[in-house]
């Protein structure tokens, strides 16, 4: 029996992680290399001359005496955790196909639940900020969907206040295989919302396939070619070939979220969607997941708790 080479690729094991990043100094050296790939450059004066203050693990510019560290102005700023805990957490979250809850992360890395929750939210924020820049191109399947069930005693159907609308999109290659996915929470299925989403997340040369929902015609505002198919209702509506992958991804993500997490608040849902998109879009090279993540994390601004718990940011 032939094997799927993507599913059976080598990956990156815990043993390899501990070998490469098992000590605090190894983690510091790695972050230094990723932050200053061409060598240290002072952010204040541009000088390349510096010295290390070993007592506080910071670097000081020899010209203007500005002090900094490998975590300054990054998602890791002001952390009191060992960098080895961060590296292990990033590894577990980026390699877990169906996700890992804050409670499970707490047990794996040996921190409190509140700390594990903050770690996970910050890591997912990095994923979200990276995925927010992605534009799908080529053949793109899109669909409207909702997360959450009906609240007891509340409205039913699309009007339920417990349902969160989102747009799901999957780009495929010429053979019809899925390449990238994009899930974004929207304020509703209106022409203005779909137009805003399309301009940000679709390339102008895309061929977009959707069902007959009227608002999807707004993808043409992003100079995309659009074709719609009235699918009707029932099981057969989700088995049509032109929507097979987007419907598959919607089902997979919903099942993974409900099977992994006890509860997901609506204001944090964009981060959870980004987590699944980030992993899926980089599934072709699991060995590179950690360094690629760290490279982006070092360019992601600090995320204090007050920002972590703010209202949702629509993509």
DSSP 136: B
Q: Residue 243 falls within a domain, yes or no?
A: yes
Integer-rounded Cα Rg, in Å, for the chain is: 22
Question: Which tens digit of pLDDT belongs to each residue from 239-249?
Answer: 677 789 999 99
Q: Can you give the pLDDT at residue 234?
A: 58
CA dist 284 and 268 (Å) reads 27
Q: Residue 15 falls within a domain, yes or no?
A: no
Helices (H) and strands (E) in the chain, counts: 10, 8
Question: Which tens digit of pLDDT belongs to each residue from 249-298?
Answer: 999 999 999 999 888 888 899 999 999 999 999 998 889 999 999 999 99
148 against 3, higher pLDDT: 148
Flag whether the pTM goes above 0.85: yes
Residue 152 has pLDDT above 50, yes or no: no
Q: Residue 8 falls within a domain, yes or no?
A: no
Q: Residue 52 falls within a domain, yes or no?
A: no
Q: Residue 22 falls within a domain, yes or no?
A: no
Q: Quote the number of domains for the chain.
A: 1
Average pLDDT value for residue range 175-204: 95
Q: Can you give the pLDDT at residue 305?
A: 82
CB-based contact 55:69 (threshold 8 Å): no
Q: Residue 30 falls within a domain, yes or no?
A: no
Taking every pair of Cα atoms in the chain, the longest distance, rounded to a whole number of angstroms, is 70
Q: Residue 93 falls within a domain, yes or no?
A: yes
Average pLDDT value for residue range 79-94: 96
Q: Residue 271 falls within a domain, yes or no?
A: yes
Q: Can you give the pLDDT at residue 148?
A: 81
Query: Which domain, by its residues, includes 284?
Result: 79-315
Where are the alpha helices (H) located in the chain, listed in sequence order? 14-21, 24-35, 83-95, 102-109, 113-131, 191-201, 244-260, 269-281, 289-297, 305-308
């Amino acid at each position: 029996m032939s094997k799927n080479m993507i599913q059976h690729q080598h990956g990156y094991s815990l043993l390899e992680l501990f070998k490469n990043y098992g000590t605090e100094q190894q983690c510091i050296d790695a972050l230094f290399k990723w932050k200053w790939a061409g060598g240290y450059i002072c952010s204040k004066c541009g000088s390349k001359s510096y010295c290390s203050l070993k007592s506080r693990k910071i670097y000081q510019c020899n010209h203007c005496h500005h002090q900094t560290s490998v975590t300054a102005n990054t998602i890791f700023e002001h952390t009191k955790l060992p960098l080895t805990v961060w590296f292990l957490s990033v590894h577990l979250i980026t390699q877990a196909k169906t996700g890992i809850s804050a409670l499970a992360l707490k047990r794996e890395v040996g921190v409190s639940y509140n700390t594990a929750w903050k770690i996970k939210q910050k890591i997912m924020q990095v994923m979200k900020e990276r995925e927010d820049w992605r534009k799908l191109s080529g053949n793109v399947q899109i669909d409207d969907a909702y997360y959450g069930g009906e609240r007891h005693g509340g409205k039913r159907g699309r009007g339920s206040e417990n349902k969160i609308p989102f747009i799901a999109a999957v780009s495929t290659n010429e053979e019809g295989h899925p390449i990238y996915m994009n899930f974004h929470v929207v304020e509703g299925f209106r022409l203005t919302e779909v137009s805003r989403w399309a301009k940000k997340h679709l390339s102008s040369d895309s061929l977009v396939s959707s069902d007959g929902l009227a608002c999807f015609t707004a993808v043409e505002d992003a100079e995309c070619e659009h074709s719609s198919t009235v699918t009707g209702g029932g099981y057969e509506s989700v088995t049509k070939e032109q929507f097979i992958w987007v419907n598959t991804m919607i089902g997979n993500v919903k099942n993974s979220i409900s099977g992994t997490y006890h509860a997901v608040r609506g204001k944090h849902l964009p981060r959870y969607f980004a987590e699944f998109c980030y992993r899926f879009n980089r599934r072709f090279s699991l060995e590179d997941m950690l360094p690629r993540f760290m490279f982006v994390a070092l360019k992601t601004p600090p995320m204090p708790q007050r920002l972590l718990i703010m209202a949702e940011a629509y993509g």
